[in-house]
């Protein structure tokens, strides 16, 4: 039997009310659950927990961070420059222009490599003392006084051979980049020790003077020369020579063993390049080393006397 129309409407309304009550109940349960989750997250971020996190992963303070300066750029002037008596306001026009000689002598750290006599080898780092722009620079150059045949030619060259030369001698055959760079730094008037190497008693036997600055080493182009280098071309020459003249021969040579006595820690020759890199054929000598070594020699035969600073010690 069908329900009257009024009863149908009441039943439909009851169903709608029941559905609305069910939705409100589910919404309430979901809202309570979300509220509980928010409370849980808030408790995890308590001050004590946050402090503990900071302690476990501290940030690097700005003062501890390394500051890198791009190569070739000037470092910023410190704020306390006035306390250090640094005049940061002076213009370049107030400073005297650097001469060619002072610029070429101003290098303070030179990376050099060890090598042999006039034909050098493996690399090794070393730092040299800064030259003064006043006066000559000093060097030590090695040659072999005893006969040794290479490609059918005798490569010996001694202090006596230099003394006999009627004109400036080209110091050729250097085949090491570091030794070559030293020769490129030499100026007319620089002085050098002549060192006998690869012989029974190696050591310093005299002095010579650079009378002509570097030029192309022609021996590198000669296929019959003992030190021919096929990689050196006339368009792009790799090697150079300087011309030297005899100045003095020591009556008593300063032997390698005697030099080594003063090369111990704290010794006056502690940083002498030729003692640190025995295979380097052209090396730097400081003014202090130059003067001291002269005090170890006997009277200089056929040459200038020792310098005043060397005599006074």
**Statement: residue 104 has pLDDT above 80:** no
**Statement: residue 121 has pLDDT above 50:** no
- pTM reported for the whole predicted model: 0.59
pLDDT digit string (tens) for 15-41? Answer: 777 777 777 777 676 777 776 666 665
Res 137: pLDDT = 97
pLDDT band at 178 (very low <50, low <70, confident <90, very high): very high
Longest dimension (CA), the chain: 150
Res 243: pLDDT = 98
What does the alpha-carbon distance between residue 96 and residue 91 come to, in Å, rounded to a whole number? 11
Query: Which residue, 127, 229, 113, 235, is CA-closest to 178?
Result: 113
14 φ/ψ angles, rounded to the nearest 5 degrees? -65, -40
pLDDT band at 7 (very low <50, low <70, confident <90, very high): low
For residues 193-207, average pLDDT: 97
Q: What percent of the chain has pLDDT over 70?
A: 58
pLDDT band at 269 (very low <50, low <70, confident <90, very high): very high
**Statement: residue 103 has pLDDT above 70:** no
Res 217: pLDDT = 97
pLDDT digit string (tens) for 203-231? Answer: 999 999 999 999 999 999 999 999 999 99
Res 310: pLDDT = 40
């Amino acid at each position: 039997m069908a329900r009257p129309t009024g009863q149908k409407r009441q039943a439909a309304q009851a169903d709608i009310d029941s559905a609305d009550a069910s939705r409100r109940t589910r919404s309430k349960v979901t809202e309570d659950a979300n509220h509980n989750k928010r409370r849980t997250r808030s408790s995890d971020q308590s001050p004590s927990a946050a402090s503990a996190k900071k302690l476990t992963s501290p940030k690097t303070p700005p003062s501890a961070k390394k500051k890198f300066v791009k190569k070739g750029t000037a470092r910023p002037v410190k704020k306390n420059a006035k306390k250090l008596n640094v005049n940061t306001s002076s213009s370049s026009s107030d400073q005297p222009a650097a001469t060619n000689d002072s610029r070429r002598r101003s290098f303070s750290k030179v990376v050099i490599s060890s090598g042999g006599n006039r034909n050098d080898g493996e690399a090794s780092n070393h730092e040299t003392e800064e030259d003064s722009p006043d006066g000559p620079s000093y060097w030590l150059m090695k040659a072999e006084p005893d006969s040794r045949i290479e490609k059918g030619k005798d490569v010996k060259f001694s202090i006596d051979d230099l003394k006999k030369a009627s004109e400036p001698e080209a110091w050729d055959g250097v085949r090491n980049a570091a030794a070559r760079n030293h020769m490129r730094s030499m100026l007319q008037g620089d002085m050098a020790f002549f060192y006998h190497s690869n012989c029974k008693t190696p050591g310093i036997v005299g002095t010579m003077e650079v009378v002509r600055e570097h030029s192309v080493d022609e021996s590198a182009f000669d296929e019959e020369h003992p030190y021919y280098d096929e990689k050196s071309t006339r368009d792009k020459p790799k090697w150079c020579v300087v011309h030297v003249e005899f100045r003095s021969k020591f009556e008593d040579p300063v032997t390698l063993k005697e030099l080594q006595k003063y090369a111990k820690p704290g010794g006056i020759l502690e940083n002498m390049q030729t003692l640190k890199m025995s295979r380097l054929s052209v090396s730097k000598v400081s003014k202090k080393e130059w003067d001291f070594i002269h005090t170890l020699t006997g009277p200089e035969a056929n040459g200038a006397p020792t310098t005043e600073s060397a005599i006074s010690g």
